[in-house]
């Protein structure tokens, strides 16, 4: 009897050891370029929607700008990336950046928040909160080096 219980426990433990990694790693990292931040291209992992911040955690999100009518090769632009002391680990609040109809020069690929704010200051970009049709308003998506 003791032997049967020991065998059953061994089967259960082995099953858990095999199943836990499957649940812990629901998506595979993608090391291709998906986000520009701090002038660098970054890969990502799975996007997980998050609830809107409350008064206590509003500071825990970085900004992610989705450019609706950008140049060829334009990716969303994060305001910080790994290595930047302001990077918050991949918790994002989305914004939409739209180029004006009349821009006095060719539209460049925006690579950083500085680029976004520079062109917004010149009146070339309009920035609004959220990203209709894009990623959720708040989500988690850590940045990974492009390989």
pLDDT in tens, 17-48: 333 332 334 566 778 899 999 999 999 887 88
Least confident span in 12-16, 104-108, 140-144: 12-16
Q: Quick one: CA dihedral 80, 57, 134, 128, positive or negative?
A: negative
pLDDT exceeds 50 at position 116: yes
Q: What is the dihedral angle through the alpha carbons of 75, 78, 82, 84, rounded to the nearest 10 degrees?
A: 140
Say how far apart CA 71 and CA 17 lie, in whole Å: 47
Where would I find the H helices in 31-112?
Answer: none
Q: Please state the pTM of the whole predicted model.
A: 0.78
Name, in order, each residue with C-beta under 8 angstroms of 82's C-beta and a sequence gap of 6 or more: 42, 143, 145
Return the pLDDT at 14. 33
Domain ranges, ordered by start, for the chain: 27-145
Q: Taking a C-beta distance cutoff of 8 angstroms, is the pair 96, 128 a contact? A: yes
- For the segment 57-68, the average pLDDT, to the nearest whole number, is 93
Comparing 146 with 134, which gets the higher pLDDT?
146
């Amino acid at each position: 009897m003791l032997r049967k219980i020991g065998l059953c426990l061994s089967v259960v433990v082995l099953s858990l050891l095999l199943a836990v990694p499957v649940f812990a790693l629901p998506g595979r990292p993608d090391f291709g370029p998906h986000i520009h931040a701090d002038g660098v291209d970054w890969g990502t992992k799975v996007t997980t929607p998050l609830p809107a911040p409350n008064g206590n955690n509003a500071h825990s999100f970085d900004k992610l700008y989705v450019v609706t009518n950008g140049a060829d090769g334009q990716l969303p632009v994060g305001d910080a990336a790994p290595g930047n002391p302001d990077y918050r680990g991949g918790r994002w609040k989305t914004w939409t950046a739209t180029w004006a109809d009349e821009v006095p020069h060719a539209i460049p690929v925006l690579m950083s928040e500085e680029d976004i704010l520079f062109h917004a200051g010149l009146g070339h970009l309009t920035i609004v909160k959220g990203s209709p049709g894009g990623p959720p308003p708040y989500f988690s998506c850590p940045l990974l080096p492009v390989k």
